[in-house]
Amino acid sequence: MKIPVKKPFLTAFGIAFASLYIGCGAQPVPDPRAVDESAIQELEAAWTKTAEAKDAAGFVSYYSDDASVLAPNAPVATGAEPIRSTISQLFALPGFSLTFKSNKVEVARGGDLAYSHGAYSMTMNDPKGSLLTDKGKFLTVFRKNAEGKWKVVADMFNTDLPMPAPPTK
């Protein structure tokens, strides 16, 4: 024996079920890139603290083993030892200090590459012992490693200061 079911009942049941489903946890999934962008911003905040502490070994630990650092007025440093040497020399300068903060972080759709760019401020003593402040910009490329951690694979920075005037004869 077939029990007749009225269409209004089915419609009401469907609406009630859909409302219950939507209201009980069908929350939108956060974009994983936004999560990674926040993770990189946190990583950079910790990284700048290692610079403020002049912790060269800690600073270098943010780079991948195959990373390259493109510092101004110096050849490209690729690999752990050349980067360690470059950073150690920089941190050893009298009066040295460094702070930096990104103003943009973007993760690629694939989720394994990202970049950030922003501004830095670096101070050191000039050859006469006077404090010299350099302000500039940076571009950093990150890659997510097999453990899911972000590591720097390319780091470039340069000054915003004007070129010095050529010497007069």
pLDDT tens figures, 59-110: 999 999 999 999 988 899 999 999 999 999 999 999 999 999 999 999 999 9
Arithmetic mean of pLDDT, 16-24: 54
Q: What is the pTM of this model?
A: 0.78
Rounded distance between C-alpha atoms, residue 121 and residue 5, angstroms: 74
DSSP 114: E
User: What pLDDT does residue 132 have?
Assistant: 92
Rounded distance between C-alpha atoms, residue 108 and residue 33, angstroms: 8
Bridge partners of 119?
A: 101, 137
Arithmetic mean of pLDDT, 148-161: 96
CATH T-level topology, domain 32-159: Nuclear Transport Factor 2; Chain: A, (3.10.450)
